[in-house]
């Protein structure tokens, strides 16, 4: 048994949604341990949150600057090794850069930064520091997404030509800003960055497509809208895109689809077969063949999937895993990466750059009235 | 019991797909009767086809011109009353116009014509003749589509703002032209018209959205492609669109999605709820509310649907109806319309004009590199 | 084209449910034609019903005895050739026997008779007459049921050992007797026979299992109940059964499952694979293999199914067929059988005897407190 | 933050399936901590397993007797507080009784013991010790199962009358005994107890039905079989049952349904509505009403469910939770129970007695050729 990775958390205190999810994900596989935190931008709230989580009094910090400074003074075998960033977007870069500079690894919520320019600064900081940087693109942690990638790359679909990827939610169908903390910062350009919906969830759809295809999205033509009156950032968008040589696609993202939960779906079509995956029932992957055969692939440690994929499951088929398990895989693999165990895939600075390039190109295309824009990060 | 409507068919002989479907649809409710036909453009094939269908020898015609001329000479109570047109697209206008001019009602496959200009000529012919003209937009015959319309119009979704409509098939994922009659004419501009996929199935998606929303699609921005090498017409397309005051949407149509059967899906979102209908399982309509409630509406004569909708079913719930029943409803309603029974909805010249305006605007937008185009039928 | 089979109907007039279904089924494929009828046990209602259906005045009869007598007097090429029986159960035998004796073929609703003894009389009448007798076990008309049978028989499941078959409805969850004609006769022993639910729908489940397995159900142990207070016949039942050498199973039938529509489901398991079919979505057949592979078989004329199965469809995949199409197949095949075209499968007197033997054994077993009873039709 | 409950595990070392599941479940919510273990009946394997799990050298014990003895010697604030039992069935009672007697709480895999007599001994030990005893009936940890119970109890279904509960798997469709450790002990009467399949998974089905109905299953009539040649215990069974005053039902359990994963399904019908839950997609609960309305209830912290149910979720709707989360809820609630936090529901000795009474009655009924047997736990 390897020592768990010691993690300090920035953000994610009382009332935050994603902080608790990160902590569940850390704990599930026992490869990470929360040892300290600066859990709120309000010092007293930060302290109370740390206490409620059972952190030692000395390691609930009033600010992330404090945390970085004082943890660095602890003995090597006690101090935190990595910082988990779960703040609103505008803090992602400053915290990550400072943590990396201070010699800590970083695992951060997405989007990595507010702009592509910031993402490039982050990439420099990662390179200079020599530390690991992970971006929690949770959906890449689903085993059936890995199986999808494996099938695409093995040529099982034939020559791939068409992609539909969509992500719809309903929770911003009305004007919640002001009352709801999550809604407030996500719709505020100073905290969220260039984009609203397309940054928040469109970036997941983009990331999923690039991951499964193994190809960059090269060009986009976009239409972003603020559907709800008075909203400052987009809450709905659609994008035509090109990938690699031959692939075209449509990406849709919306947070105003009243009644939708968290509908992320990817369809990929080659000339021999197509595949279809829906996040809300993540344990099924459909593969439909041109000759009419349809395979229903089901999740489970004992199922006929790629051996590396089957090895990801904690349970045999019929014992469904879900979102927290996908998230836990990212944390466990991050810990393995830091510890030098195997060569796990962990989304990182490449995905950060790609994501910000996507967001920026989409926003610029939409502003231009829908011109084609290249998606380059480099 | 009313006398069945006497119908003559143009096209749809041996080896044709849609002719047999029309005949099943005519027969199911007993409100129509096939009395004659000019079932192929090849005279001998036309004659043999008529014989195989059991038409009297005297009423299997070598050409549609013959059929119009000779049927007109029969006594009023024997001659055909309406012409069903199931030919490739380029013949829709000439046959329809001639039939209307000769005093026959017309029920035609879609798209109504090859171009919007032709559709306007057809509209003139309809008006001049005073005869009924029906367009077999089959999917409007599904009761759950009527229920969807009813719900949208009653305000059950709140203020409608977002539409996704898509239609994907896989049968043209490879180059079948030459070998396959259906593929050959559909990909040949001289027979099919301006458009391939967007005309063949995109027009169904457009029609479905306009029908359910009760609003015209006003503006489109499109991207059409011929994905399969050497294909002359589009086999794949995507469209951003605006409808009415407040609604935006995405329409997707593709015939190169290997493995897909006939995936027509419509989603409509208001600020209070959304609805979701999928043609391949047409007896279910999902309604999801902003507050998290989800209703699964099921088809059947005994179900709590709009009373006019419930009256459409031939069976109680759990005894599934399908595509032929939807088609049969169009034929039965056309017969009622001609006979002056009630005031059934039958898609007609309005839908013909709208469909051709849509196709033309989409093609023009795509040619222009994706500019917004108005969808007007003048 | 072969001349349609001329059919006279007994029962099924105004207000009846199943009469209209039979008529739709007759018409769909054009192989049958309704030429006369004695459509109600009430003479005036019978006459009005015939008129509403557009039958010639002379061929709407006041009673089925009349119909048999007077049709027999018509010229050979005009008179009805077969009688369709859609009355309550107690009339099945007298009408069928008289029709057969008078030289007419018979197609009858199920159950064939009220008792096994009556079924044996019917079998004698069939044999003596030399005429065709068909029993409308509609669910055997579904192509995916035929595919299920084909797979079982080809050994695709390995050695078959386990069957679950169930049929649940909710429409009799309350006491409708008296108000509702359908409910009234079905719960009245003098009209329905020995059994209520187990005869009405349990017999479908039994028939489906025997058909797909190709084996007789040899022994049953049953528990029938009248769940709704005051009901005279069973409205709910469950049966343990044995089939062939190695197969055991459970059959469930209930009409008091409030909220259920018409949930008929069959699951068959061998040592290599299992299959699962649900009537409410009849166009899908799942096959799950012991090694974890799952095949989703979909209906359609172009799908990789048994060639005789694929030939049954009227539409390609993705254009769903339903209950009326399954029913129409029975009528079309009955017509072919009578005309001597090919060698179609049509459920007939064998299924009649098996069904009545099943009902009788189940009722006797339940009365005995659940002893094993053989299912023999003597 | 409350101190995590300190747990020692018996069984569950290298190669065991359920041990790892328990550990994931303990960790997820951070309310339990594994502090020691006697992880195998083979001493060296026990030691290696402890080391691989990262337990301190001093707390990986060679036997459970050792563990109980030596942990009892540790200071109060360090020693384990509860024992988790994940051994084959025959050890459940001896370990649990000894642990309780030694002053430790117990959380045990099910079935609680091998026989009802043993279960009564266990009940005595629990009572004498005054310690907490929990039985990991995992499926009761699913929030939608709690919602089902809530709806039944609130009268939302009307008067409940009918239950179908079934649990089918395929993994024992062939003879794995000998090669496969899981298969070997489960099919060996000396380790497994009276029953095979009906004890292993039938007991889950029984437990689920009693939990949701809130009524005891009073009488059973059973048919157990060993379908696979040479198997010593049942691998397949079916049970007719009565519950409370008015409810009848059918329970099915089989491990020879080749291709099935872990299909646990419960349907409950009242006179006003029915509900349907399937474990493989546990985040959906269907409620169908007698009037045709169908509600699809979806999991999530933000959904309109019972407030105690909604509070169980760790994620909002659309972020699926699964089997490990259900299991984690049991561990977290057990820890709360021990700590005296709130009044959580934890399945315990009542469920142990009920389960063993069920198994025993079913086995006796089957041996008697299917007589009705009371299900009493004395």
DSSP string, C41-88: SSHHHHHHHHHHTT--GGGB-SSHHHHHHHHHTS-TTTS--EEEE-S-
Residue that has been written with the tokens 């007939």 in this structure: C348
pLDDT at B17: 79
Which of D236, D252, D273 is closest, CB to CB, to C258? D273
* Residues on chain A touching C298 (C-beta within 8 angstroms): 292, 294
What does the alpha-carbon distance between residue D278 and residue C314 come to, in Å, rounded to a whole number?
Answer: 34
pLDDT at A321: 97
Phi then psi for residue A85, to 5 deg, are: -105, 115
Whole-structure pTM value: 0.97
What does the alpha-carbon distance between residue D287 and residue D147 come to, in Å, rounded to a whole number?
Answer: 11
Percent of chain D's residues with pLDDT above 70: 100
Residue B173 near chain D (CB below 8 Å): no
**pLDDT above 80 for D283:** yes
What does the alpha-carbon distance between residue B365 and residue B190 come to, in Å, rounded to a whole number?
Answer: 21
pLDDT at A31: 95
pLDDT at C151: 98
Per DSSP, the residues of D81-150 read: -EEEE-S-GGGHHHHHHHHHHTT-EEEEPSSSSSSHHHHHHHHHHHHHHT--EEE--GGGG-HHHHHHHH
SS3 C219: strand
The long-range contacts involving A23-27, CB below 8 angstroms and separated by at least 24 positions, are: A23/A53, A23/D30, A24/A324, A24/A327, A24/A328, A24/D28, A24/D29, A24/D314, A25/A324, A25/A327, A25/A328, A25/A330, A25/A331, A26/A84, A26/A328, A26/A331, A27/A328, A27/D27, A27/D28, A27/D29, A27/D30
With both helix axes pointing from N to C terminus, report the angle between D18-28 and A18-28 in degrees, rounded to the nearest 10.
Answer: 150
Per DSSP, the residues of B240-261 read: EEEETTTEEEEEEEES--TT--
Neighbour subunits, B (≥3 Cβ pairs < 8 A)? A, C, D
Show pLDDT as tens, one digit a residue, over chain A (378 residues): 678 999 999 999 987 778 999 999 999 999 999 999 999 999 999 999 999 999 999 999 999 999 999 999 999 999 999 999 999 999 999 999 999 999 999 999 999 999 999 999 999 999 999 999 999 999 999 999 999 999 999 999 999 999 999 999 999 999 887 778 777 777 888 887 789 999 999 999 999 999 999 999 999 999 999 999 989 999 999 999 999 889 999 999 999 999 999 999 999 999 999 999 999 999 999 999 999 999 999 999 999 999 999 999 999 999 999 999 999 999 999 999 999 999 999 999 999 999 999 999 999 999 999 999 999 987
What does the alpha-carbon distance between residue A85 and residue A107 come to, in Å, rounded to a whole number?
Answer: 6
* Helices and strands (H and E) in chain D: how many: 13, 14
SS3 B298: strand
Q: Do C30 and B29 count as a contact with CB atoms less than 8 A apart?
A: no
Mean pLDDT, contiguous 10-residue spans, chain B (378 residues):
91 87 95 96 94 93 97 96 95 97 97 94 98 98 98 97 98 86 80 88 98 97 95 96 95 98 98 98 98 97 96 96 98 97 96 97 96 93
Phi then psi for residue C87, to 5 deg, are: -90, 175
* Residues on chain C touching B312 (C-beta within 8 angstroms): none
Which of D2, D54, D281 is closest, CB to CB, to A281? D281
Give me the residues paired with residue A268 across strands: A163, A275
pLDDT at D244: 86
SS3 A328: helix
Residue B13 near chain D (CB below 8 Å): no
For the segment A259-282, what is each residue's pLDDT rounded down to a tens digit? 999 999 999 999 999 999 999 999
C-beta neighbour count of D31 within 10 angstroms:
22
pLDDT at B181: 77
Mutation target vs A (from C274, C276, C287, C296; most A CBs, 10 A cutoff): C296
What does the alpha-carbon distance between residue A263 and residue A282 come to, in Å, rounded to a whole number?
Answer: 11
Q: Please calculate the CA angle D43-D47-D49 and round it to the nearest 5 degrees.
A: 115
Q: How many residues are there in chain B?
A: 378
pLDDT at D24: 96
Residue D192 near residue D272, CB atoms below 8 Å: no
The two tokens of residue C66 are: 């009349």
Helix (H) or strand (E) holding D161, with range, is strand D160-168
* Residues on chain D touching C158 (C-beta within 8 angstroms): 258
CA-nearest of A347, A315, A357, A362 to A106 is: A347
Task: Compute the nearest-CA separation of C16 from chain B (Å).
Answer: 12
* Helices and strands (H and E) in chain C: how many: 13, 14
For the segment C286-319, what is each residue's pLDDT rounded down to a tens digit? 999 999 999 999 999 999 999 999 999 999 999 9
Neighbour subunits, A (≥3 Cβ pairs < 8 A)? B, C, D
* Residues on chain D touching A263 (C-beta within 8 angstroms): 318
The two tokens of residue C19 are: 């009469």
SS3 B133: strand
E strand map for B181-331 = 217-225, 236-243, 247-254, 263-270, 273-278, 284-289, 294-298
**pLDDT above 70 for D1:** no
Query: How many CA atoms lie within 13 Å of C240's alpha carbon, on the beta-carbon side?
Result: 22
CA-nearest of A362, A36, A60 to A222 is: A362
Mutation target vs B (from D295, D296, D297, D313; most B CBs, 10 A cutoff): D296
pLDDT at A1: 61
Helix (H) or strand (E) holding A45, with range, is helix A43-52
Give me the residues paired with residue C83 across strands: C8, C106
How far, CA to CA in Å, does A248 sit from each of A222, A242, B232, C10, D41? 14, 4, 18, 61, 59
Residue that has been written with the tokens 């603020």 in this structure: A226
SS3 B14: coil
Cis peptide before A111 (omega within 30 of 0): yes
In the predicted model, residues of chain C with pLDDT beneath 50 are none
Give me the residues paired with residue B266 across strands: B165, B277
Residue A101 near chain C (CB below 8 Å): no
What does the alpha-carbon distance between residue A354 and residue C137 come to, in Å, rounded to a whole number?
Answer: 60
What does the alpha-carbon distance between residue B246 and residue B230 come to, in Å, rounded to a whole number?
Answer: 40
Give me the residues paired with residue D269 across strands: D162, D274
What does the alpha-carbon distance between residue C126 and residue A274 come to, in Å, rounded to a whole number?
Answer: 53
Residue D205 near residue D268, CB atoms below 8 Å: no
C-beta neighbour count of B69 within 10 angstroms:
13
């Amino acid at each position: 048994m390897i020592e768990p990775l010691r993690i300090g958390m920035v953000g994610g205190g009382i009332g935050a949604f994603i902080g608790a999810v990160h902590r569940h994900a850390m704990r599930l596989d026992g490869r990470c341990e929360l040892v300290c935190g600066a859990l709120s931008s309000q010092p007293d709230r930060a302290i109370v949150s740390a206490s409620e989580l059972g952190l030692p009094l000395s390691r609930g910090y009033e600010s992330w600057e404090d945390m970085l400074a004082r943890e660095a003074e602890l003995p090597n075998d006690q101090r935190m090794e990595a910082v988990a960033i779960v703040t609103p977007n505008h803090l992602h870069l400053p915290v990550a850069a400072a943590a990396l500079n201070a010699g800590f690894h970083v695992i951060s919520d997405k989007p990595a930064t507010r702009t592509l320019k910031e993402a490039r600064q982050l990439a420099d900081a990662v390179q200079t520091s020599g530390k690991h940087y992970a971006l929690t693109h949770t959906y890449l942690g689903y085993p059936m997404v890995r199986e999808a990638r494996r099938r695409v790359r093995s040529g099982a679909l034939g020559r791939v030509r068409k992609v539909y990827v969509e992500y719809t939610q309903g929770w911003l169908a009305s004007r919640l800003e002001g009352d709801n903390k999550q809604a407030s910062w996500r719709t505020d350009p100073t905290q969220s960055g260039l984009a609203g919906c397309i940054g928040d969830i469109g970036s997941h759809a983009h990331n999923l497509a690039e991951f499964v295809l193994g190809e960059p999205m090269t060009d986009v033509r976009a239409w972003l809208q603020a559907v709800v009156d008075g909203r400052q950032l987009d809450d709905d968008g659609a994008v035509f895109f090109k990938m690699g040589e031959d692939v075209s696609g449509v990406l849709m993202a919306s947070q105003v689809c009243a009644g939708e939960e968290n509908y992320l779906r990817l369809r990929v079509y080659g000339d021999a077969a197509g595949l279809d995956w829906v996040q809300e029932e993540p344990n099924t992957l459909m593969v439909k063949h041109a000759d009419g055969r349809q395979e229903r692939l089901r999740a489970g440690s004992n199922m006929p999937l790629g051996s590396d994929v089957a090895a990801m499951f904690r349970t045999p088929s019929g014992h469904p895993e879900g979102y927290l398990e996908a998230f836990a895989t990212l944390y466990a693999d991050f810990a393995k990466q830091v510890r030098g165990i195997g060569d796990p895939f962990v989304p990182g600075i490449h995905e950060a750059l790609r994501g910000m390039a996507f967001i920026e190109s989409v926003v610029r295309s939409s502003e231009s009235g829908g011109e084609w824009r290249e998606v380059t990060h480099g």
